[in-house]
Amino acid sequence: MSISLNDKIPNNVDLSSNRKLQKALLAWQPNFIDWWMDMGPEGFQQDQIYLRTAVSVEKGGWAHFEYVKMPEYRWGIFLSPHQKNRTIPFGDNIGTPVWDKVPGDLRKELRRIIVTQGDTEPASVEQQRLLGRCAPSLYDLRNLFQVNVEEGRHLWAMVYLLHQYFGRDGREEAEDMLARRSGDADSPRILDAFNKPIDDWLSFFCFTMFTDRDGKYQLGALAESGFDPLARSTQFMLTEEAHHLFVGERGLQRVVRRTAQLMNEVPSGDVVKVGGIPLPIIQKYINEWYSASLDLFGGEDSSNAASYFASGLKGRFKESSSRKWTDHVALEGVYEHHVPNSTGGLTTEEIPMRRAMNLVLRDSYTADCERALSRWNRELENAGLTERLYLPSDRFNRDMGVFSGFGYTPQGEYMDWEAFQAKKSQWLPTDDDRNYVQSCMVPVYEVGKMASWIAPPKKGINSQALDFEYVKFH
């Protein structure tokens, strides 16, 4: 099915043949735009941004670049191509045909999965709303807006599923998506990391590196779901998501590269003197966002995760394509993990495989984060420095799972709660750290120029030069 870009709602789901659904989504559309104008990037809605838009869902040829005013972005519904005769690749229903409709007994679970995923999309736009004011370059400003419009599109992807498959409940959920607000005391977003403020670009890069990457693993686990419309929606979302992760990983890499360069240039090595961001502050931001993102995976031993796997709703990352998974039923075997005991030590426990699916997914995520860390450390190594960045222990600063409420250093050593509280400022950003980072956030809107705390990227977007005019101000 090709994309009908000229429809009021661009789509490849043959929306015009389903009048009722089309009408419902056309009624939701102005509310979405109102939300966007209210909670989307502040101060840039009239400017021309060099953005990519989906024009095809086929591999290789899906993106088209042009100048667009954000409120005129072609948000729509794009599903990856239908695979004929697809069967459920894991769980109790393995080998049986996938569902084109919601199975009655899984309705509640599916709705919860879709609403939880959907809620994160507008949340991140809200969190990043003011960042345009202090962008380090036009290149970065454009990337921020690309991420923002695509998170808006991901909301469309989930809202389509709610409207199409969940009747009245689904329509109500879709309304609620536009009513909750990130960080709001009365009506917050569902997950904690999506209520945290993102006031500076170091936080933004950490968010797109660590928190969006949780999204990659959640979407990856849903991309082979037995509920075929969900699988096809998340597959296409993943292709967009790759750019968000690139923005975060390479953004942090550029900050590290610049800091390393300044450390070598300043005789004392004190980069604050020349407007750089010191490595210890970068480390604290990593500590904060990595630990908050681990919480998003949920409890280590989870009956929900087991039932999602059993019923074929949510698998592991690359359930059928990774060689890591040979047994797709997962009724045998255990997954080992550590739990704190009463004396402050650790006990090894075994979780039956299906109940450990959150942890299995989280471990795939951690390996991916480690890969990025070694890339950043190569920057330090290449600059001849001995300092290194690291991921904190999974016990550090947790609000979810078995280590929540315990004090651990980033190296994973136990300490009593009071001692931990007293030392926390060594490991997590303090007000002074945040204020310093904030002081570096001066906007640079001149074509081809870059703020002093970050190195330029190696390449531009869509093969454009670095001094390309990625944003044209009105």
395 near Fe ion, judged by CB under 5 A: no
243 near Fe ion, judged by CB under 5 A: no
Sequence-ordered list of residues with C-beta below 8 angstroms from that of 253, at least 6 positions apart, any chain:
372, 375, 376, 379
With contacts defined by CB under 5 A, name the span among 42-50, 187-195, 242-250, 258-266 that binds Fe ion.
242-250
Instruction: Answer whether 262's CB lies under 8 Å from 284's CB.
Output: no
How many residues line the site for Fe ion (CB under 5 A)? 6
State the CB neighbour count (10 A cutoff) for residue 148: 26
Count how many Cα atoms sit within 13 Å of the Cα of residue 89 in the half-sphere of its side chain.
19
Q: Which of 154, 254, 314, 395 binds Fe ion (CB under 5 A)?
A: 154
Using the minimum distance from each CB to Fe ion, give the nearer residue, 251 or 312.
251
| CA 228 centroid distance within chain | 22
Binding mask 93-122 for Fe ion (x = CB under 5 A): ----------------------------x-
316 near Fe ion, judged by CB under 5 A: no
Compute the 3-state secondary structure of the chain and give helix, strand, coil in percent, each to the nearest 5.
50, 10, 40
Q: Which of 44, 22, 71, 36 is nearest to 177 (CA)?
A: 36
With contacts defined by CB under 5 A, name the span among 37-45, 88-96, 233-241, 389-397 that binds Fe ion.
233-241
Q: How far is the CB of 241 from Fe ion (least distance, A)?
A: 5
H or E, element range at 16: none
Instruction: Answer whether 328's CB lies under 8 Å from 376's CB.
Output: no
Using the minimum distance from each CB to Fe ion, give the nearer residue, 78 or 90.
78
Q: How far is the CB of 223 from Fe ion (least distance, A)?
A: 13
Q: How far is the CB of 446 from Fe ion (least distance, A)?
A: 28
Using the minimum distance from each CB to Fe ion, give the nearer residue, 240 or 300.
240
Q: How far is the CB of 353 from Fe ion (least distance, A)?
A: 29
244 near Fe ion, judged by CB under 5 A: yes
With contacts defined by CB under 5 A, name the span among 204-212, 247-255, 397-405, 413-421 that binds Fe ion.
204-212
Q: How far is the CB of 215 from Fe ion (least distance, A)?
A: 5
Using the minimum distance from each CB to Fe ion, give the nearer residue, 224 or 241.
241
Q: Which of 212, 295, 300, 379 binds Fe ion (CB under 5 A)?
A: 212
First and final CA of the chain: distance in angstroms?
37
Could you tell me the CA-to-CA distances from 358 to 223, 308, 352 in Å, in that order?
16, 11, 12
Task: Identify residues 352-381 at the interface with Fe ion (CB under 5 A).
Answer: none
Q: Which of 411, 204, 424, 404 is nearest to 294 (CA)?
A: 404
Instruction: Answer whether 248's CB lies under 8 Å from 381's CB.
Output: no
Q: How far is the CB of 117 from Fe ion (least distance, A)?
A: 8
Using the minimum distance from each CB to Fe ion, give the nearer residue, 90 or 145.
145
Give a three-class secondary structure readout of 358-385.
Answer: HHHHHHHHHHHHHHHHHHHHHHHHHCCC
With contacts defined by CB under 5 A, name the span among 109-117, 183-191, 210-218, 282-290 that binds Fe ion.
210-218
Q: How far is the CB of 392 from Fe ion (least distance, A)?
A: 23
CA distance 373 to 427: 17
CA distance 396 to 147: 29
Residues that bind Fe ion (CB under 5 A): 121, 151, 154, 212, 241, 244
